[in-house]
Structure 1
Amino acid sequence: MSNQIDRPFSFRQGNSSLLVSMPHSGTVLLPEMEKRLTEAARNLPDTDWYLPELYDFLNQMDVSVIHANYSRYVIDLNRPVDDKPLYAGRTTGLFPEILFSDQAVFLEGQQFDEATKSRIKAEVWLPYHQKIGEELQRIQAQHGYAILFDAHSIAAQVPMLFDGTLPDFNFGNNDGHACPVNLMANLADIVCQSSFSHVCNGRFKGGYITRHFGQPEHHIHAIQLELSQATYLADRHQDQHQGHQPDYQLDHTKKQRVGAVLHQLIEALLAYGQSGELKLGTN
């Protein structure tokens, strides 16, 4: 590994009460890492594809945004640094060794050694989380409260993680512990008025970022959205007969449709805070 890990995240500061985090959108690998990955892992199949593009309206809304530059195969920023499991059943860890397809990430014997893991924790995981904490404190000092929206996406069908097909919008607030119940209900109501499906605190209740930073008692509120990639990626049936997986492609028609709902969700979060309820800490 090189002596320096460059730019673990990208960040833009806004002046609103909201910070949007995208911990799994990164695609950068460490030097020489690609040749240590299995063929199945080299196209980074578990990436939260195109999230910065999907939320490209955030800058115009003066929202703070942080997104990871490194792939989750370098380190998973939505796991605790001690790698304590967040969900019962099979899942991937801080340093993933299996894909969501249950295939290996690394070739045999090519996983990171402990010294490398320690460096990655210090130079990728810690700076990302420190920046979230600092920005939430800054926002709270300015507005009297802060909201964290942790943005994710995932394939609609992942048999290792859940049965059947995932709803389009999957909201999580750690079973009501990370933000007021009615804040999440407001978002769910918006999706109900669209043609998309949704669930609250279903298979995805919020990962480490939501659970750690969501502290309503301190006027810092967090909610996670796990968006089905079927809502914005092009259908992937083409090229399957050629024996390889096609690239992940953004469907611009789908993006426009789901993007309108995402824009409404962000507007609702900003309006909810301005209503004064979060400053009062009401539930």
Structure 2
Amino acid sequence: MEAADLPVVERGDAPLILSMPHVGLRIPGAVRDRLADRALELEDTDWWIDRLYDFGGELDATVVRATVSRYVIDVNRDPGGASLYPGQATTELCPTTTFDGIPLYRPGAAPSPEEIDRDRRPYHAAYHEGLSAEIRRLRQRHPRVVLYDCHSIRSVVPRLFDGELPVFNIGTNGGASCAPEAEEIVTRACAEAEGFSHVVNGRFRGGWITRHYGDPGDGVHAIQMELAQRAYLAAEAPPWTYDPVRAGRLRAVLKPMLHRLAAWAADAANGQKGSAP
């Protein structure tokens, strides 16, 4: 693994982590040579999510950002290969098709289980080593930490869901991955955002990151936000152009919402100080 393939970690001191597992565009040469031409378009990338949330530094948030494409290995999937949504269409730990079911690999070139273990899992491990380290670091400073998992997807993907997706898709694994107060902060901000639709624990209830790390009893509150790309892209097709005007309206909702989440997490420390003898 090259240094450029490692996740990027930008440290902040607020009790807020922005995880960006699907923004990576890098594909190692050995993988690239086996992919079909269509796969090289990387159409299922969470396009421009890092730009959309580039205000993280203003919030003193920590950002953990993947550099390797999800087509290499999906760091938001169970490393054991268990499906996030049994009985429903989804993509694997090491995807072999696009969201639309189009093969990613040339005929006969898909990786074997042995190759996945040897060549792909190190990328998965690197992301989670970085993310876990930041959670531990911030938990040493704060009684509770919010892990906000940043995602986006095309508004219409018939293979994965019916109809058009709401703009804001909030996932808390049915309320298990965070405290009700954290879910309420996010839900209220989205519900009050004029011109935007939202749903809580709909088609996307949270991926492996949300489910694995969310542990409210231990002070880690995980929330996934899946955004419909029509809300900030000029078009949901190549070249996936970022639309500053649309994105500005979305950022006007996201930034104060995340500020309130961080303030809520910080209030736990204030409460502890206030209760000390």
| Same fold (TM > 0.5) | yes
Q: Name the residue aligned to 2:212.
A: 212
Matched, 1:222 2:222: yes
Q: CA deviation at 1:62?
A: 0.9
Q: Which amino acid aligns with 1:253?
A: V
Which residue of structure 1 aligns with residue 244 of structure 2? Answer: 252
What SS class does the counterpart of residue 150 from structure 2 fall into? strand
More helix by share: 2
1:200-242 per-position Cα deviation (integer Å, ceiling 9, x unaligned): 0000000100000001111111010001101001125xxxxxx
SS in 1 for 2:29: coil
Unaligned 5+ runs, structure 2: 273-277
Percentage identity across paired residues of the two chains: 36
Instruction: Tell me the TM-score normalised to structure 2 length.
Output: 0.92
Distance 1:116 1:183 in 2: 40
Post-superposition offset of 1:35: 3.7
- More deviation, 33-42/9-18: 33-42
Q: Give the direction of change, closer, same or farther, for the CA distance of 1:278–1:124 in structure 2 (3 Å limit).
A: farther
Q: How does 1:57-68 map to 2 (within 5 A)?
A: 57-68=55-66
For 2:214, give the aligned amino acid: G
Match for residue 201 of structure 2? 201
Q: Secondary structure at the match of 1:132?
A: helix
Instruction: Give the whole-Å Cα distance in 2 for the aligned partners of 1:277 and 1:212.
Output: 24
- Compared CA separation, residues 125 and 246, structure 1 to 2 (3 A): closer
- Matches of 2:133 and 2:241 in 1, distance apart? 34
2:50 equivalent in structure 1: 52
2:262 maps to which of 253, 270, 274: 270
1:26 to 2:24 alignment: yes
How far apart in 1 are the matches of 2:111 and 2:121?
Answer: 14
Deviations 1:54-104 (A, max 9, x none): 001001211000010000000000001111001031110000011111111
Offset, 1:115: 4.2
The alignment status of 1:153 with 2:145, answered yes or no, reads no
8 Å contact 1:219–1:278 — kept in the other structure?
no
User: Separation in 2 of the partners of 1:203 and 1:277?
Assistant: 34
Q: When the two structures are aligned, how many residues end up with a matched partner?
A: 270
Change in Cα spacing, 1:278 to 1:219, as seen in structure 2 (3 Å) is farther
Q: Which residue of structure 2 lines up, in the alignment, with residue 183 of structure 1?
A: 182
TM-score, normalization: structure 1? 0.90
**1:110-133 superposed Cα distances (whole Å, 9 cap, x missing partner):** 112344312344421112112211
Q: CA RMSD in A?
A: 1.8
1:131-169, Cα deviation, whole Å (9 max, x unpaired)? 211111111110112110010000000101100000000
What is the aligned counterpart of 1:15 among 3, 10, 13? Answer: 13
